Chains A and B, each alone.
Chain A
Amino acid sequence: MASIEQRYISLSARKVNSAQGKEQAMLIVTLLYLVAVLSVPLYSPQKLIWLAAYPIIASEMEGCGFRRIFLKSLLIIPLVALIGIFNPFIDTETAFRIGNVAVNRGWVSFISILLRGLLSLQAILILVESSGIIDTINALRKLGCPSVLTTQLHLTCRYISVVMEEVIVMKRARAARGYGRKSYPLSMWGRFIGQLLIRSMQRATDIHRAMLARGFDGSLPLGTTMRWNSSAWIWLIVWTALIACLRFIDFSSLVVQFLHK
Chain B
Amino acid sequence: MSHHFIKFTDVTYRYPDGTEALKGVSLTITHGERVALLGLNGSGKSTLILHTNGLLLPTSGEVNIGGIPVTKKTAPEVRRAVGMVFQNPDDMLFMPTIYDDVAFGPRNMHLPEDEVRHRVDDALNAVGLHDVADKAAFQLSGGQRRSAAIASVLSMGPDILVLDEPSANLDICARNNLINLLDSFRHTILLVTHDLDMARQLCPRSIIMHEGRVCADGLTQTLLSDTDIMRDAGFM
Contact = CB atoms under 8 A, between A and B. Distances in A.
Given A15-B96, A215-B156, A222 B107 contact: yes
A14 to B, nearest CB: 9
Contact of B86 (A16, A210, A222): A210
A212 B103 CA distance: 14
B86 A209 contact: yes
Nearest to B104: A214
A207 B89 CA distance: 10
Contact of A216 (B90, B96, B108, B138): B108
A215 B97 contact: no
Contact of B100 (A13, A207, A214, A223): A223
A206 B88 CA distance: 9
Contact of A16 (B83, B97, B156): B97
B136 A217 contact: no
14 contacts: A9-B138, A15-B136, A16-B135, A16-B136, A17-B96, A158-B94, A207-B94, A209-B55, A213-B53, A213-B84, A214-B153, A215-B105, A216-B108, A221-B103
A215 B109 contact: yes
A215 B86 contact: no
A169 B92 CA distance: 19
Interface in A113-166: 132, 134-135, 158, 161, 165
Contacts of B108: 214-217, 221
B210 to A, nearest CB: 25
Contact of A215 (B79, B90, B92, B95): B79
A229 interface: no
A107 B5 CA distance: 75
A217 B75 CA distance: 11
A224 interface: yes
Contacts of B193: none
Nearest to B75: A212
Contact of B79 (A12, A206, A214, A223): A214
